[in-house]
Amino acid sequence: MTTTGDQETRAYDVIVVGGGNAALCAAITAREEGASVLLLERAPEDERGGNSSFTEGLMRFVYKDSEDIRALSPDLSPDELASDFGRYTEETFFDDMARVTQNRTDPDLCEILVRQSNATMHWMRRQGVRFLPQFGRQAFKVDGKFTFWGGATLAAVGGGRGLVDQLYRAAEKAGVDILYDAWARDLVSTDRGVTGIVVKVAGVTRTISAGSIVLACGGFEANAAWRSRHLGPGWDLAKVRGSKFNCGDGLDMALRIGAQPAGHWSGCHAVGWERYADDFGSFDTMDDYERDNYPFSIMVNSEGKRFLDEGADIRNYTYAKYGRIILQQPGQFAWQIFDSSVTHMLRPEYRARRVTKVTANSIEELADRLDDVNRDQLIDTIKTFNASITRDVPFSPNVKDGRRTQGLAVPKSNWAVALENPPFEAYAVTCGITFTFGGLKVTTDAAVLDTSHRVISGLFTAGEMLGGLFYFNYPGATGLMSGAVFGRIAGRSAARAAIERGPAANVA
C-alpha cells in the first residue's frame, strides 16, 4: 500500500531504499520472512521503477531446454514452441561472465548469480510476473523458424515497465508499505550499526527507525559531476538512458558511514544511442533511441574511418561496452551504415519517430549527405571494406558466421556485409550510459562491509549498488537478473537480522 499520515513515522523491521526491480524483490522477500517493510521510492508514482522501467525486461538465466521455457511462459502457441530455444547452461553463463569481465568478476558473487538464476525466475513467476520469448529481438527467423542466440531468451510482459508494475502489485499484495517522492538523504548509524534513515518525503524531512536497511537505489549514472570524477573526462557529455533520479545517493550515504567501495568505479554499461536524444530517459521516447543492430553495419566516425570491430561478437556481449568507444570519437558521435540487404532485420526503434537517419542511392551521395564526416575518407573506407570481405562465407544472423574481412587495420570478424546494394541507410549515434559498475563491498548474504572489512550491522545492498560483479562489460540481460537474485538475498538477510535484533523502535 502507499502510506499516508502517521504510518510514515512508525518504525519498521526493514526499510528498502529504491523503487526498481532489486528493491521490489528485496521488499517482497523481506515480507515473506515476516518482517514489516517500508519501501522508499524517490520518484513520484508515475515515474517509479528506477532504471528497471527503462529496460526491455530481459532476463539472463540458466535453462535446459524448451520445457524450461514452457514452464515460465506457459501460454505459448504450438508454432511459438516450435522455435529453437537452445539451452543456456551454468557452464556457459560462468564462461560468459568471466570472458566479458576479463576474469575479474567476483567468483563467489558470480556463482550465486548463476546458480540461483533459474530458481529466481520461477519465484518471480509465482509473484505474478509473466514472461514471453523475445521473438525478433533475441532471435531471427531463418527458414521459417526463430533461432535464439546470446543466452537471453525471456523478458517480462510489458518490458521494464511491465516488470515493475507486476512487482509493485506483488509488493502491495504482500503488505509492503510504499512511499513515493521519498528522497533518502542519510543513514542513522550508531555503534550498533544502522538503525534508521533520514528521508525527505514530499519536501518534509523526517527520520524513520528500522531494524535493517536495504540500499537498492541505483548507481551514479545520472550525476554528471560524479561521472566526470569517476569515469573520466567527457563523461559529463553522455546521454542518460534511464532514470534521472539515479544520482548516487545510496552510495554517498553508505560511504559516509565507512562502507567499503568495490568493483569497477571507472566502468559502466554504455551503448550506442540516438545522437540527439534527450539528456535523460523519458517514458515517451524510451523505445526510440537504442541502436543495437550495429553488428550488421559499419560504424564510422567524423573522420570517415571505422574504429571498432562491429562483428566481434553477438550484440549481447558487445553493446554495453561500445558506447564508451563512441564517446571517445571526435565529437562524441558516429554513424551506423547499412546495406539494403540487411535493413529488414533492423529493430523497430530504427523506424521510430525520433531518429537521425540519412538514406542515399549511392556511396557518393551518402558521403555528400553526411556533412559532418570527411567525404573522401568515407568513400575510401567503404570501398576498402567491400574489397576485404571473404565472400565465400555465407551470411547468417543467428550465429557468429565467420564472414569476415581480411587485411584491415580494424577487422570485422563476423557479419561483414558489403555496402553495394542501395538504398543505403545511416543512423547517427552517441553514447548512452545505462548504469555504473562501481558499488559497495558485500558478503555473500548481501551485507555491506566497512573499510576495515567488518560487516556494518543492519545494512544490506543489491542491484546497481552491489560492487564486484561487472568489469569493463557485462552479458546483456544480466543486470535485472542480478537485481532479482541479490534483491531476494538482501531482503531475506535484512529481515532475519532485524527480527534477531528485536523491535525496530528499540534498535537505536
Taking only the tens place, the pLDDT of each residue in 440-455 is 999 999 999 999 999 9
Helix (H) / strand (E) element for 160: namely: helix 159-174
**What single DSSP character describes residue 285?**
T
pLDDT score of 1 more than 70: no
What is the per-residue DSSP string for 400-452? -----BSS-SS---S----S-SSSEEEEEEEEEEEEE--EE-B-TT-EEEBTT
pLDDT of residue 288: 85
> Which residues have C-beta within 8 Å of that of residue 362, sequence separation ≥ 6?
422, 424
Taking the C-alpha atoms of residue 184 and residue 240, their distance in angstroms, rounded to an integer, is: 22
Question: Per this entry, what is the length of the chain?
Answer: 508
> Which residues have C-beta within 8 Å of that of residue 160, sequence separation ≥ 6?
49, 52, 53, 54, 55, 56, 57
pLDDT of residue 232: 97
Domain 269-432 fold is Flavocytochrome C3; Chain A, domain 1 (3.90.700)
pLDDT of residue 503: 63
Taking the C-alpha atoms of residue 227 and residue 152, their distance in angstroms, rounded to an integer, is: 29
Using DSSP, state whether 293 is helix, strand or coil.
coil
Is residue 20 within 8 A of residue 164, CB to CB? The reply is yes
Higher pLDDT, 2 or 441: 441
Taking the C-alpha atoms of residue 171 and residue 25, their distance in angstroms, rounded to an integer, is: 8
The band of 44, judged by pLDDT with boundaries at 50, 70 and 90, is very high
Taking the C-alpha atoms of residue 372 and residue 398, their distance in angstroms, rounded to an integer, is: 34
Q: Is the pTM of this model over 0.75?
A: yes
Q: How many CB atoms lie within 10 A of CB 433?
A: 25
Name the nearest CA neighbour of 88 among 58, 116, 68, 70: 68
Q: Mean pLDDT lowest for which of 18-22, 228-232, 288-292, 418-422?
A: 288-292
Is residue 418 within 8 A of residue 264, CB to CB? The reply is no
Taking the C-alpha atoms of residue 198 and residue 363, their distance in angstroms, rounded to an integer, is: 60
If you average pLDDT over residues 235-260, what whole number do you get?
98
Burial 45-77 (b: 16+ CB within 10 A, else e): eebbbbbbbbbbbbbbbbbeebebbeebbeebe
Name the nearest CA neighbour of 430 among 260, 295, 271: 271
Q: Which three cell numbers stand for residue 233?
A: 573526462
pLDDT score of 430 more than 90: yes
Is residue 124 within 8 A of residue 117, CB to CB? The reply is no
Using DSSP, state whether 305 is helix, strand or coil.
coil
The residues spanned by each domain of the chain are 5-266+437-506, 269-432
**pLDDT, tens digit, 9 for 90 and up, residues 342-379:** 999 999 999 998 999 999 999 999 999 998 999 999 99
Domain 5-266+437-506 fold is FAD/NAD(P)-binding domain (3.50.50)
pLDDT score of 505 more than 60: no
Q: How far is CA 87 from the centre of its chain?
A: 22
Name the nearest CA neighbour of 135 among 82, 181, 173: 82
pLDDT score of 436 more than 70: yes
The band of 507, judged by pLDDT with boundaries at 50, 70 and 90, is very low
Using DSSP, state whether 12 is helix, strand or coil.
strand
**pLDDT, tens digit, 9 for 90 and up, residues 79-103:** 898 899 999 999 999 999 999 999 9
**pLDDT, tens digit, 9 for 90 and up, residues 369-407:** 998 999 999 999 999 999 999 999 999 998 999 999 999
pLDDT score of 71 more than 60: yes
Strand duo 37-40 + 12-17: pairing: parallel
CA quadruple 106, 436, 476, 489: dihedral, nearest 10: 50
Taking the C-alpha atoms of residue 462 and residue 429, their distance in angstroms, rounded to an integer, is: 31
pLDDT of residue 197: 98
Percent of the chain past pLDDT 90, that is, above it, reads 90
pLDDT of residue 187: 98
pLDDT of residue 9: 62
pLDDT of residue 5: 42
Q: Mean pLDDT lowest for which of 282-286, 289-293, 412-416, 456-460?
A: 282-286
If you average pLDDT over residues 262-287, what whole number do you get?
94
What is the per-residue DSSP string for 67-131? HHHHHHSTT--HHHHTSB---B-HHHHHHHHHHHTTT-S-HHHHHHHHHHHHHHHHHHHHTT--E
The band of 284, judged by pLDDT with boundaries at 50, 70 and 90, is confident
pLDDT of residue 347: 92
The band of 504, judged by pLDDT with boundaries at 50, 70 and 90, is low
HSE-up of 370 (CA within 13 Å, CB side)? 34
Strand duo 37-40 + 177-179: pairing: parallel
Higher pLDDT, 219 or 145: 219
Kindly report the average pLDDT of the chain as a whole number.
Answer: 95
pLDDT of residue 371: 87
CA quadruple 308, 309, 311, 317: dihedral, nearest 10: -70
